[in-house]
């Protein structure tokens, strides 16, 4: 049990708290599901890129899936071995490609022929052979929120199967490209297995046809996307997930790579905020807290549901909106939620905030971003100090 009161006393609010035991258990659960098979779990750093979170996972053996050279540098700084780092993303700058090649990471994941041209040119200049994989868009509906759905042709990600085939042949014939991997990722917060299995099966067929023309794919990257429980969603069992993927791979000798983000850290994170006061506008009840949409954007951006809990309060619940102090109507954590009466100073815990929480925070309204704390058993430590006003204006003051 996390002592939210004690931690809020010590570190103040708003505050992010991560349960490192939960995170380790999630990693182990997935690793176990893949046991006995060639596999590599590359934690999707974008979900929560705190150095201590990455190094906690790296210590367990996790690799890293990165979408910018900044994330690659974070992974390296956190102790992820370079041979377990992959670099994906729809658009990469030349400097990012160059640095990734110099660092000699496991794979550059390419999303277009134009990008492949750039990588080839840069690798040639550096006299290197770039290990690449190509992101294939299998045109599968992942049945998730449209903002986090990525595997349909209408989405900007990857290339279609025919283009992939053509550019794999080009890559094979280039002395500066080594096409060793294939990749897909159909969306995030997936709660159904079928779309993943279908996508894997389409991509596995492509790998077989590449094999027939002597293009030997060794890394089969199934992306991330395994969903978590925010409310009462059904979720995908890791063992079923692994089984479904391997069932599509008959005749192929590949290492399965997966890139879970949310699965690993989502339910291990809590956003803790304090009640400032309540007010009622023409019968509508508002609970105003000191955290805002700048700290945790998911409810505002996706209308995402997060469970909220008022610590230590029980009693007659009535509907309320839980809102922050930011000057936007979209600044809310919960709408029309049944909540007990609160007093100023009460703590509100927003659950499932470990993924896409702090990383999407901003300084909007000149609000310093929260501190982050890791809890492991009965020990706790600060893993990012709260920003100060001086931190916020430092780079501007340099220009005065």
Residues forming contacts to ligand LLP in the complex (CB under 6 A) are: 44, 47, 65, 88, 148, 185, 188-189, 223-226, 259-263, 298, 302, 355-356
Please pick, among 66, 258, 327, 382, the residue that the annotation labels catalytic: 327
Closer residue to ligand LLP (CB): 257 or 320: 257
Tell me the closest approach of the beta carbon of residue 148 to ligand LLP, in angstroms. Answer: 5
Cβ atoms within 10 Å, residue 212: 8
| DSSP H or E run through 17 | strand 15-19
CA distance 126 to 103: 12
Closer residue to ligand LLP (CB): 11 or 18: 18
Q: At what angle do helices 51-60 and 20-33 cross, to 10 degrees?
A: 40
Question: Is 382 part of the annotated catalytic residue set?
Answer: no
Closer residue to ligand LLP (CB): 11 or 370: 370
Closer residue to ligand LLP (CB): 140 or 355: 355
- Alpha-carbon distances, residue 42 vs 63, 107, 156, 266 (angstroms): 4, 11, 23, 16
Q: Which residues pair with 177 in a beta bridge?
A: 130
CA distance 330 to 299: 8
Tell me the closest approach of the beta carbon of residue 262 to ligand LLP, in angstroms. Answer: 4
Burial of 129 (0-12, 13-18, 19+ CB in 10 A): middle
Tell me the closest approach of the beta carbon of residue 209 to ligand LLP, in angstroms. Answer: 23
- Would you give the distance in Å from CA 102 to the centre of its chain? 25
223's torsion region: left (phi>0), alpha (psi -120 to 50) or beta?
left
> Can the peptide bond before residue 14 be classed as cis, meaning omega within 30 degrees of 0?
yes
Tell me the closest approach of the beta carbon of residue 142 to ligand LLP, in angstroms. Answer: 10
Tokens 């590599």 belong to which residue? 40
Closer residue to ligand LLP (CB): 265 or 375: 265
CA distance 391 to 368: 8
Tell me the closest approach of the beta carbon of residue 109 to ligand LLP, in angstroms. Answer: 8
The encoded tokens of residue 167 equal: 């550019």
- Alpha-carbon distances, residue 3 vs 22, 184, 347, 385 (angstroms): 15, 40, 11, 19
Give the pairing of strands 371-376 and 379-384. Answer: antiparallel
Tell me the closest approach of the beta carbon of residue 230 to ligand LLP, in angstroms. Answer: 10
Closer residue to ligand LLP (CB): 62 or 189: 189
Active-site positions read: 327
């Amino acid at each position: 049990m996390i002592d939210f009161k004690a931690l809020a006393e010590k570190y103040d609010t708003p505050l992010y708290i991560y349960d490192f035991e939960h995170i380790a258990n999630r990693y182990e659960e997935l690793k176990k599901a893949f046991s006995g098979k060639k596999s590599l779990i590359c934690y999707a750093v974008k979900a929560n890129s705190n150095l201590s979170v990455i190094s906690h996972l790296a210590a367990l053996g996790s690799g890293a899936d990165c979408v910018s050279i900044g994330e690659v540098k974070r992974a390296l700084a956190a102790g992820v071995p370079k041979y377990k780092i992959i670099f994906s993303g729809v658009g990469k700058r030349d400097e990012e490609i160059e640095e990734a090649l110099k660092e000699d990471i496991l794979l550059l994941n390419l999303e277009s022929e134009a990008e492949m041209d750039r990588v080839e040119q840069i690798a040639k200049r550096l006299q290197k052979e770039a290990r690449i994989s190509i992101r294939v868009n299998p045109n599968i509906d992942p049945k998730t929120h449209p903002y986090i759905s990525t595997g349909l042709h209408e989405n900007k990600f990857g290339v279609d199967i025919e283009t992939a085939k053509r550019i794999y042949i080009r890559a094979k014939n280039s002395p500066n490209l080594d096409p060793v991997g294939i990749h897909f990722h159909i969306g995030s917060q997936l709660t159904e297995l079928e779309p993943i299995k279908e996508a894997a099966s389409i991509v596995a067929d492509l790998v077989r046809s590449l094999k027939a023309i002597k293009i030997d794919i060794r890394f089969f990257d199934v992306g991330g996307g395994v969903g978590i429980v925010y409310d009462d969603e059904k979720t995908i069992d890791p063992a079923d997930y692994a089984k479904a993927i391997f069932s599509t791979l008959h005749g192929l000798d590949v290492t399965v790579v997966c890139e879970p983000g949310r699965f690993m850290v989502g339910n291990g994170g809590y956003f803790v905020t304090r009640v400032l006061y309540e007010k009622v506008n023409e019968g509508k009840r508002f609970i105003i807290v000191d955290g805002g949409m700048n700290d945790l954007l998911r409810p505002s951006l996706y209308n995402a549901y997060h469970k909220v809990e008022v610590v230590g309060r029980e009693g007659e619940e009535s509907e309320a909106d839980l809102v922050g102090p930011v000057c936007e109507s979209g600044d809310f954590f919960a709408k029309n939620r049944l909540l007990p009466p609160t007093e100023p100073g009460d703590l509100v815990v927003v659950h499932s905030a470990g993924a896409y929480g702090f990383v999407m925070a901003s300084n909007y309204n000149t609000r310093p971003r929260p501190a982050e704390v890791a809890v492991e058993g009965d020990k706790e430590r600060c893993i990012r100090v709260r920003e100060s006003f001086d931190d916020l204006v430092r780079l501007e003051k340099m220009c005065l």
